[in-house]
Amino acid sequence: MPNVLIMRPIHDDAIALLRAAPGVTVEIVHKLTPEAMDDALPRADGIIVRTNVVNGEMAAKAPGLKIVARHGVGYDLIDVPGLTARGVAVTITPEANAGSVAEHALMLMLACNRRTIDYDKRVRSMGWGVTPELPTRDVAGQTVLILGFGRIGTRVARLCAAFGMRVLVRDPFIPVGTIRGAGYEAVTDLPAALAEADIVTLHLPSSGPNRGLVGTEFLAAMKRGAVLINTARGALVQEEPLAEALRSGQVGMAGLDVVLVEPMVADNPLLGAPNIIFAPHIAASTNEGTRRMAMSAAQSVLDCFNGVLPEDVVVNPEVLRR
């Protein structure tokens, strides 16, 4: 009888889906202490994980483990090589949160350009009307540079175009013709595009050369006063250079849903920088988004147990081909 270990609760509908499957049992660990995990892992045939580490050492304690299903798309905290070596499939929920994150990115663009947080504070302190110290801008007519044209980046492009923005896209893994065919301007010269863009929004994985991509040279190449949006991964941005760029005005504002160390730590240099809107990594966490992610992860577990797991959700498809 396969047992599904859920590391922290997920949407009730997904739990119900699992429990309704013939012969499947469900175990939810609310507090992920080492003791609780050591007790639960030996019974796990499948694991659903949100934002916690799953590695080969843990898999060794679960001899029947067949799948680790990530409730989301990022898998930085999952030891994919270690799990692959043990024949464990790792899955993500590729379509489930893309729309939610894209909306969040657009919200941050609007909030930065309209100085939403600043004006809210001003009204609460009995200030009223426009003040020269807080100029606002329409996003219509602005140029946005979208770095990454995957599931989220493509949706951001459509939203930006609907708001009347000029859309530049850079993704070296997508053919230029594909980007142009979608109605956007393909970018091959990154510094030149940074010099043009009023808004730069990041939709890249944090692997390989992307880590620390937004550093001193990148920020210096940006159009002075431009807005930086990051709803992808904190590791894309070097935080001290960004803090300095915000202090100098080289970057006008930043909207950040992610930071390098999460949860936020007191010595993060960005906390002392001006003109930032923070969110606590919640871009995907709408009511609708969390349900879609939970249902997708649960379905992947059931598909794995039934031998019909589709490759398009699997990070390490070589496990399926063995």
* Helix runs in 135-281, H state only: 151-162, 176-181, 190-196, 216-221, 239-248
Overall size of the chain counted in residues: 322
Asked if the peptide bond before residue 22 counts as cis, ω within 30 degrees of 0, the response is: no
| 23 phi/psi in degrees, rounded to 5 | 80, 0
Tokens of 273: 């920088």
Kindly name the residue from 50, 155, 281, 292 that is annotated as catalytic: 281
Asked whether 203 and 156 are in contact (CB, 8 A), the reply is yes
Distance from C-alpha of 59 to C-alpha of 42, rounded to nearest angstrom: 9
Residue 283 near residue 231 (C-beta atoms within 8 A): yes
Tokens of residue 249, six digits: 């005005």
Q: Among 110, 44, 43, 46, which Cα is nearest to 302's?
A: 46
Q: Bridge partners of 91? A: 69, 314
Structure tokens given for 172: 């070296």
* Of 11, 115, 233, 292, catalytic: 233
- Distance, in Å, from the CA atom of 182 to the CA atom of 155, rounded to the nearest integer, reads 11
Query: Is 262 one of the catalytic residues?
Result: yes
DSSP 93: -
Q: Give the whole-angstrom CA distance, residue 123 versus residue 257.
A: 25
Name the catalytic one among 262, 288, 311, 318. Answer: 262
Active site residue 233: yes
Strands, sheet with 89-91, edge to edge from the N-terminal-most edge strand: 25-29, 3-7, 46-49, 67-70, 89-91
Give 117-160 as a DSSP string: HHHHHHHHTT--S--TTS----STT-EEEEE--SHHHHHHHHHH
- The CA distance from 187 to 166, in Å, is 13
Report the SS3 class of residue 70.
strand
Q: What are the residue numbers of the active site? A: 233, 262, 281
